[in-house]
Amino acid sequence: MTNEQTPQIGGTAGGQDLARTEGTVPARFEDPGLPEHRLRQSDVDPAAAKRAERQVVAMFAISILGTIGFLLAYFLVRPGETVASMRISNIALGISLFLAMFGIGAAAVHWAKTLMSDHERQEARHPQRSDAATREAALDVLRQGAEDSGIGRRGVLKGAVVSAVALAPLTVAVPLIGEVGGDWNVSKFRHTLWERGKRLARDPSGEPIRAADVTIGSVFHVIPENLREEGGSHWIEEKAKAVVLMVRMDPRDLKETPERAGWSYDGIVAYSKICTHVGCPVALYEQQTHHLLCPCHQSTFDMSDGAKVVFGPAARPLPQLPITVDDDGYLIAQDDFDEPIGPSYWERLR
Amino acid sequence: MKAIAARRHHRFAPVVLLALALVLTGGLYAALAPSAEGAAAPTTDDVEAGRALFVANCATCHGVNAEGRDNNPTLIGVGAAAVDFQVSTGRMPMQLEGPQAAAKPPQFNREQINQLAAYVASLGPGPAVPSAEQVDPALGDPANGMAIFRTNCAMCHGAIGAGGALSEGKYAPSLAQSRPTDIYTAMLTGPQSMPVFNDANITPEEKRDVIAFLEEQRNGSPGGTTLGSIGPVGEGVWIWVVGMGLLIASAVWIGAKSS
């Protein structure tokens, strides 16, 4: 990075013409030309050239040592069975591989910069246009071909070839569009596996949860009971839609709207775990503030107040799962969520 | 300042700036990274001695009879496990008001902690301190522990328990140095922002599996440096500062003319 590299404005004769007068721009900028060629130390001083050569040789030697080191590490430093031995093996292989490769690259660059010729050259571009005789001959060939095919005279033939070529892409397009459009049923996004009477179960074990086991301050990660059986081959997608976070707090801390008064059970509330912003699993629950934090964009929901958004980019509260208990004391869902879970999509009205 | 300004176009200026940025990042990390301390195993109890310790050290905030006052929680019914966790990790007695009580060297010895725990446990029924067998990582199943940890803990403590930030200055501490008993009692009692994971939610065997999983993480990473294991943010900082810095330095070197 030296100053000589940059063309010096005003330093050359051409530069003087660029001075603007009264806001006018010159019709054509002068070619400033190449900067004056400057000899390198290795060009003028044989000792410097020798030194540069030794440096290049040293870099290649580093690469050779790296390769030898890699082979030694490969045969002598085996990954073994423990984490520590794997780490040593990986580090030895990585460092020697780096030296082997970087040594060659650095040596090549240094060689080119210090010892190879650095004289600037200009090469004029060839004209691309062919001469008039060649162009005329080419047009003749095309004309002759069109006459031979008779496409101008045989109208039916012309129609046939155009039709065939136009129709052939359908063999690709129809199956492609057909597959894409195989399932336009977006209403399934509105529903999850939750339904009236479905038991709440622990994730990942799938054991149902008794209301008495949910002590104050607890947080349970909940999936529908029998998720694997009822979800079939798509159970993991069903899980992604149906996951619920359930907490219990002192009922006095809970603020409930009249229309949702029966949706909690003795301080136990259950909300969808899918963020209404872009669908991350919201699960950072702060027990003392009852705030639920989304790790992706810091949306914060107040679990004691209808999971309303208290901070962050989420636009809507988390959908609430209405719950109650069955005769055996297990927590069950009253119904599915009353609104689609997760982020907005275009069929959603709000 | 003038001397620095004059040298800002020096060929080594980017290198020096990069080095300064790295030193600053490393220094900030070392200064801000949370740490934890541990202590020894439990013995017998002495409710009266615990009461004397309590009145002298805890009653100012928690009340003379541990009934709680001025937004400070009551300790009736929190059990010996909560006292053991809070006092042996140095979180209590609290040093100063803040978003979160930080771990620090414990103020009491093991005998005093047991006495305090015995006193608080005598006030009302609550979770007890687990036995040595209940927290023995050798008896747990790390693979099952990983599944439990991933579902219940990883969102705050990170995939391998390196810790992470919460809202408004609160944070989930690193579990790298935590004693097995502290990991167990923390799950059982839900200290501070952490929710409770009672024995119906994560069974005692599953808690031991979690401890075994965290114990496995102390062997380190097989892939060289872990970059703090704090996830994409830490890794991104490294690749943007160090990785891109090296690429830019290489490009500048390749493009510069030899002198």
Average pLDDT, integer, range B20-39: 60
Token representation of residue A300: 């914060």
pLDDT, position B36: 34
Token representation of residue A172: 């690709």
Chain-chain contact of A83 with B192 (C-beta, under 8 angstroms): no
The DSSP code for A208 is: B
The DSSP code for A82 is: S
User: pTM score, two decimals?
Assistant: 0.70
- Sheet arrangement for strand A284-286: A284-286, A291-293, A300-302, A308-311
- Return the amino acid letter for A73: A
Are both B8 and B65 inside the same structural domain? no
Instruction: Specify whether the CB–CB gap between B79 and B186 falls below 8 A.
Output: no
Chain-chain contact of B252 with A1 (C-beta, under 8 angstroms): yes
Are both B27 and B40 inside the same structural domain? no
pLDDT band, very low/low/confident/very high, at B42 (cuts 50, 70, 90): very low
Domain count, chain B: 3
Chain-chain contact of B190 with A86 (C-beta, under 8 angstroms): no
Residue B40 has pLDDT above 50, yes or no: no
- Which ipTM did the prediction report? 0.71
- Return the amino acid letter for B236: G
pLDDT, position A20: 57
Which structural domain, as residue segments, surrounds residue B155? 130-220
Q: Could you state, in order of their start, the residue ranges of all structural domains in chain A?
A: 41-114, 191-333
Higher pLDDT, A112 or B69: A112
Chain A residues whose CB is inside 8 A of the B167 CB are: 286, 289, 291, 293, 298, 300, 311
Q: Which residue of B has its CA nearest to A282?
A: B155
pLDDT, position A247: 94
The DSSP code for A220 is: E
Q: Which residue reads 């803040």 in tokens? A: B98
Token representation of residue A281: 């699993």
pLDDT, position B35: 39
Which of A171-185, B91-105, B178-192 has the highest mean predicted lDDT (pLDDT)? Answer: B178-192
Q: Does residue A83 sit at the B interface (CB-CB below 8 Å)?
A: yes
Q: Which residue reads 């690193």 in tokens? A: B174
- Return the amino acid letter for B57: N
Q: Which helix (H) or strand (E) holds B171?
A: strand B171-172
**Cα A83 vs. chain centroid, distance in angstroms?**
30
Domain-ending residue, one of B103, B129, B155: B129
- CA distances A190 to A106, A185, A258, A279, Å, are 59, 10, 24, 14
Are both B152 and B202 inside the same structural domain? yes
Instruction: Specify whether the CB–CB gap between B110 and B41 falls below 8 A.
Output: yes
Task: Determine how β-strand A331-333 pairs with β-strand A323-325.
Answer: antiparallel
Are both B134 and B213 inside the same structural domain? yes
**CATH T-level fold of A191-333:** Rieske Iron-sulfur Protein (2.102.10)
**Cα A119 vs. chain centroid, distance in angstroms?**
44
How many angstroms separate the CA atoms of A320 and B160, rounded? 31
Chain A residues whose CB is inside 8 A of the B258 CB are: 40-42, 52, 113-114, 118
- Where residue B177 sits, what CATH number does that domain have? 1.10.760.10
Q: Which of residues 292-321 of A touch B (CB under 8 A)?
A: 293, 295, 298, 300, 311
Chain A residues whose CB is inside 8 A of the B254 CB are: 109
Q: Which helix (H) or strand (E) holds A52?
A: helix A46-76
How many angstroms separate the CA atoms of B189 and A287, rounded? 11
Chain-chain contact of A82 with B220 (C-beta, under 8 angstroms): no
Instruction: Specify whether the CB–CB gap between A342 and A274 falls below 8 A.
Output: yes
Are both B156 and B206 inside the same structural domain? yes
Domain-ending residue, one of B76, B98, B129: B129
How many angstroms separate the CA atoms of A216 and A266, rounded? 10
- Find the CB nearest B198 among A113, A118, A213: A213
- Find the CB nearest A284 among B147, B155, B192: B155
Summarize pLDDT for B111-167 with one digit per residue, the tens. Answer: 889 888 989 988 888 888 999 889 999 999 999 999 999 999 998 998 889 888 888
* Interface with B, mutate which of A43, A109, A113, A299 (most B CBs under 10 A): A113
Chain B residues whose CB is inside 8 A of the A284 CB are: 155-156, 166, 172
Task: Tell me the nearest-neighbour CA distance from A282 into chain B, angstroms.
Answer: 8
Residue B4 has pLDDT above 70, yes or no: no
Chain-chain contact of A1 with B11 (C-beta, under 8 angstroms): yes
Are both B20 and B57 inside the same structural domain? no
Instruction: Specify whether the CB–CB gap between B104 and B37 falls below 8 A.
Output: yes
Chain A residues whose CB is inside 8 A of the B222 CB are: 79, 83, 86-87, 90
**Mean pLDDT computed over every residue of chain B:** 84
Locate the DSSP E strands across chain A: 200-202, 219-224, 244-248, 268-272, 284-286, 291-293, 300-302, 308-311, 323-325, 331-333
**Residues B57, B59, B64, B68, CA torsion sign:** negative
Instruction: Specify whether the CB–CB gap between B130 and B82 falls below 8 A.
Output: no
Residues pairing with A201 in the sheet: A208, A223
Instruction: Specify whether the CB–CB gap between B64 and B131 falls below 8 A.
Output: no
Helices (H), B124-231: 142-152, 154-157, 180-189, 204-217
Task: Tell me the nearest-neighbour CA distance from A344 into chain B, angstroms.
Answer: 24
Token representation of residue A237: 């997608």
How many angstroms separate the CA atoms of B159 and A296, rounded? 15
The number of helices, as runs of H, and strands, as runs of E, in chain A is: 9, 10
Instruction: Specify whether the CB–CB gap between B180 and B135 falls below 8 A.
Output: yes
Residue B76 has pLDDT above 80, yes or no: yes
Closest-CA residue to B151 (of A277, A281, A149) = A281
pLDDT tens by residue, chain A, 350 residues: 334 444 444 444 444 455 555 667 777 888 888 888 888 888 899 999 999 999 999 999 999 999 999 999 999 999 988 888 999 999 999 999 999 999 999 999 999 999 998 888 888 888 888 899 999 999 999 999 988 888 778 888 889 999 999 999 999 998 888 777 666 677 777 888 999 999 999 988 889 999 999 998 999 999 999 988 888 888 998 899 999 999 999 999 999 888 888 899 999 999 999 999 999 999 899 988 999 999 888 899 999 999 999 999 999 999 999 999 999 999 999 999 988 888 887 767 55
Chain-chain contact of A209 with B256 (C-beta, under 8 angstroms): no
pLDDT, position A11: 42
Are both B135 and B209 inside the same structural domain? yes
Are both B20 and B67 inside the same structural domain? no
Chain A residues whose CB is inside 8 A of the B253 CB are: 109
